[in-house]
Amino acid sequence: DAGVIQSPRHEVTEMGQEVTLRCKPISGHDYLFWYRQTMMRGLELLIYFNNNVPIDDSGMPEDRFSAKMPNASFSTLKIQPSEPRDSAVYFCASSPERRSNTGELFFGEGSRLTVL
Amino acid sequence: LAKTTQPISMDSYEGQEVNITCSHNNIATNDYITWYQQFPSQGPRFIIQGYKTKVTNEVASLFIPADRKSSTLSLPRVSLSDTAVYYCLVGDMTTDSWGKLQFGAGTQVVVTP
The rounded distance, in Å, linking the Cα atoms of B68 and B27 is: 7
* Residue B109: half-sphere exposure toward Cβ, Cα within 13 Å: 28
Q: B-chain residues within 8 Å CB-CB of A108?
A: 43
Q: What is the pLDDT of residue A98?
A: 67
Please give the Cα distance from B82 to B77 (Å, whole number).
10
Check whether B55 has a pLDDT greater than 80.
yes
Q: What percent of chain B has pLDDT over 90?
A: 78
> What is the least distance, in Å, from the CA of B85 to any CA of chain A?
11
Q: Which residue of B has its CA nearest to A105?
A: B46
Question: Contact at 8 Å (CB) between B22 and B91?
Answer: no
Q: How confident is the model at residue B98 (pLDDT cuts 50, 70, 90)?
A: confident
Q: Residues of B numbered 2-61 whose beta carbons fall under 8 angstroms of chain A's beta carbons: which are they?
A: 32, 34, 36, 41-46, 49
User: Any bridge partners for residue A13, and if so which?
Assistant: A115
pLDDT tens track for A12-51: 999 999 999 999 999 999 999 999 999 999 999 999 999 9
User: Are the beta carbons of A94 and A57 closer than 8 angstroms?
Assistant: no
| Residue A28 and residue A42 in contact, taking contact as beta carbons nearer than 8 Å | no
Q: Nearest chain B Cα to A39, which residue?
A: B105
Q: Does B104 touch chain A (CB under 8 A)?
A: yes
State the number of CA atoms in the 13 A half-sphere of B44 facing the CB. 35
Q: Kindly state the average pLDDT of the residues B65-91.
A: 95
CA neighbor of A1 nearest in space, from A21, A20, A40, A27 = A27
Cis amide bond preceding A81, omega within 30: yes
Residue in chain A nearest B92 by alpha carbon: A103
The alpha-carbon gap from B8 to the nearest alpha carbon of chain A, in Å, equals 12
Residues A102, B103: C-beta atoms closer than 8 Å = no
* Cβ–Cβ gap A42/B105 under 8 Å: yes
Residues B48, B28 contacting (CB under 8 angstroms): no
Neighbouring-strand partners of residue B10: B109
